[in-house]
Chain A
Amino acid sequence: MSGDYKFNTLGLHAGHTPDARFGSRAVPIHQTTSYVFQDTEHAAALFNMEVGGHIYSRISNPTVAVLEQRLAALEGGIGCVATSSGMAALFLTVLGLCSAGDHIVSSSQMYGANINLFEHTLSRYGISTTFVKPNDLAGFKDAIKPNTKMVFGEVIGNPGMDIMNVPEVGKITAAAGVPLVIDATFNTPWLFKPLEYGANIVIHSLTKWIGGHGIALGGAVIDGGNFDWGQNDRFPTLTEPHFGFQGVNLWEEFGPAAFITRVRTEGMYNIGPCLSPTNAFHLIQGLETLGLRMERHMANTVKMLDFLANHEGISWVKHPNLPDHPDHAIAKQLMPKGAGSIIACGIKGGRDAGRAFIENVQVASHLANVGDAKTLVIHPGSTTHSHITPDAMKAAGLTDDLVRISVGLEDFEDLADDFNAALRIAGKVAGAAK
């Protein structure tokens, strides 16, 4: 019934009206730190948040605002703040909700820096975290305490591509009166929109699929506006007088936008991990083709899964679309278009064969990123985990033969030729070791 534009139209148009003076069709790069006030009354109105507009680019910027509004539109959120990186987005989210003495419940299977932030950084500031396996619903319920301020997880988790049952966890958090915060980097709104399934806040690393070109870091916090911050006295950062703006009560004054307003008025004012206007421009170019790219990411992923499953140099393949993945059923239910374009697989011959494969691909790039338009590969056993014993790796959910592939947009035949050639060499290494 809603007459909102559809995904690709929003990706191309949301958040931007060509300006009346020049009519630039592309979103202009407002590469400026600050904005000339019309007069003192206008300046005061901006500082008091009475009117929209820009003061200083750490707080907001017209190019960045287009990206923010486009992301809010695509996720179904009421507002967005873009940040300098995905990590900054997570940190500002925590900052908006948690103070010393508070508690977070988090999925245990996530991007390493997300885990480290909770386990090692926030703990130094008196914020503790209980980690729960992403598919352990009872675990989430039991872990929530009176001082829990958020429940967090990734839809598709690292490294095993465990799928978080967002709708079911959302029921648990709603009943407990705690917001569900989801890192949706690996799924993008094209595969799954968490706000439509019980999540309250979405964060992204825009560095990955949303940018897609691998040329700009960025992050985003998107507020669903669908959480009642006033239902209990658990969220004083939003329901008690804010130190800025004459002690405004954000929940009373801004309602569904209370949280995202706090992210901007505290996170950006006092911490300041702002996105540069030029990076916002680059990320907007990526966002404009997200739908098209995701279609092809998923088509190439299907072909790659088939290729790997039938390759004699591969001992195992892990992806939620495969029936033997433990979360296959929930992945299919939540993401019918496919559960992302990251594949883990085992190179026959273990650590040395894995190294040989990585060093001999020519089309795929050996690097530490995901979600690029180009196919990326990494072998933890010979890089991040090179000094860790196979047993210790297993304890961390990894094996020394594991290669992670971020499937790109190349013509698949070229990827197949590339992998065949590299696997042939890996096979020789494996054979020699026997």
Chain B
Amino acid sequence: MKVMVRGQETFISTGGRAFDASGNVLLFLHGSGQSHLSFMLQGRFFANRGWQVLTPNMPAHGLSEGAALTSIEDMADWVAELLDVLNVASANVIGHSQGGLIGLELARRHSGKVKGLSQVATALAIPVNDALLGMAENKEVAAIAAMTDWGHGRDGHRHDHTMPGQDHMNYGKQLMAANETGALFADLTACANYAGGADAAAAVTCPCQVILAQKDKMTPVKFGLKMAQALKVSDPVIIAGAGHMLPSERPVEVNKALRQFFEVN
């Protein structure tokens, strides 16, 4: 569906089902340079199991208009405004990568809006090396190729997909290339500049879950475990052999873990 947020047309995938704001809302927040499509194998799954799914495209991503936002704090405020537009009082939030940083900030700045928080392949901070930032600014195609390479684990590199006939890495590249030019650089800059993770985590009061990818080259497990500690999550889920793009690479395990967490929350 499309709604107006800050005067810009914003696309939100609802997993193929009509959205009902009075239901139990799952809000999926995508990562740097990604879109709702990185949750392709979560949206329909949860929408068909009774949850109300919201997977927005951040401005300049996917099918959303507007200029890319430039700080994690502003992204969190934007998400809160989006929930207001939709009359959603509070939601269970799933943040992947940069979406996890937004989730932390959302839970700190708008704590009433977050019922539960599942942090997927993310950390308290996502430093970005200068080489990648430079590529994202000046040679986006190369940045996309590098991120798709680092982002995928064994299954992605073997081109072995759970959806028959589909290709992880080539799909990942096209998904990123479909965003507005400059959106990736804005995202990576926002990640690089974000320093509020530890404070935000300390302020989070809702139930939390942490799902990590064992072979994650972008947000390595050891940083994910630090975040788990800060969020007082004693049983982080570590998916063996998975890379950073685990929502698409390992949908069965990810969905199982999310379901277990949100069925009780």
Contacts and interface: CB of A to CB of B under 8 A. Distances in A.
Interface stretch (A10-18, A290-298, A331-339, A366-374): A10-18
A78 B16 contact: no
Contacts of B157: 3-5
Contacts of B145: 1-2
Interface string A20-50: 0000000000000000000000001100111
A122 interface: no
A256 B41 contact: no
A16 B160 contact: yes
A10 to B, nearest CB: 7
A81 interface: yes
Contacts of A230: 63
Contacts of A188: none
Interface in B141-196: 142, 145-146, 148-150, 154-155, 157-167, 169-171, 174-175, 177-178
Interface in B245-260: 251-252, 255
A172 B16 CA distance: 35
B87 interface: no
A72 B164 contact: no
A252 interface: yes
A253 B40 contact: yes
B142 A60 contact: no
A254 B37 contact: yes
Contacts of A254: 37, 40
Contacts, number: 138
B175 A79 contact: no
Contacts of A252: 11, 13, 63
Interface in A387-433: none
Contacts of B261: none
A353 interface: no
B176 to A, nearest CB: 10
B129 to A, nearest CB: 14
B44 A78 contact: no
A264 B165 CA distance: 10
A351 interface: no
Interface in A246-290: 246, 248, 252-257, 260, 264
A384 B256 CA distance: 60
Interface string B30-53: 000001010011011100100000
A52 B166 CA distance: 10
A3 B158 CA distance: 11
B178 A255 contact: yes
A80 interface: yes
Chain B interface residue bracket vs A: 35 or more
B166 A79 contact: yes
Nearest to A10: B159
Nearest to B11: A252
B62 A2 contact: no
Given A1-B146, A79-B166, A69 B159 contact: yes
B171 A257 contact: yes
A54 interface: yes
A17 B174 contact: no
Contacts of B255: 51
Contacts of B232: none
A257 B158 contact: no
Given A48-B48, A51-B252, A256-B174, A3 B166 contact: no
A70 interface: yes
Interface of A: 1-5, 10, 13-17, 44-45, 48-54, 60-62, 64-65, 68-70, 72-73, 76-82, 224-226, 228, 230, 245-246, 248, 252-257, 260, 264
Closest 6 CB pairs of A and B: A52-B162, A68-B165, A60-B164, A225-B174, A256-B174, A3-B149
Interface of B: 11, 13, 16-17, 35, 37, 40-41, 43-45, 48, 62-63, 142, 145-146, 148-150, 154-155, 157-167, 169-171, 174-175, 177-178, 251-252, 255
11 contacts: A1-B142, A2-B148, A4-B169, A52-B161, A68-B165, A72-B166, A225-B171, A226-B177, A252-B13, A253-B16, A264-B164
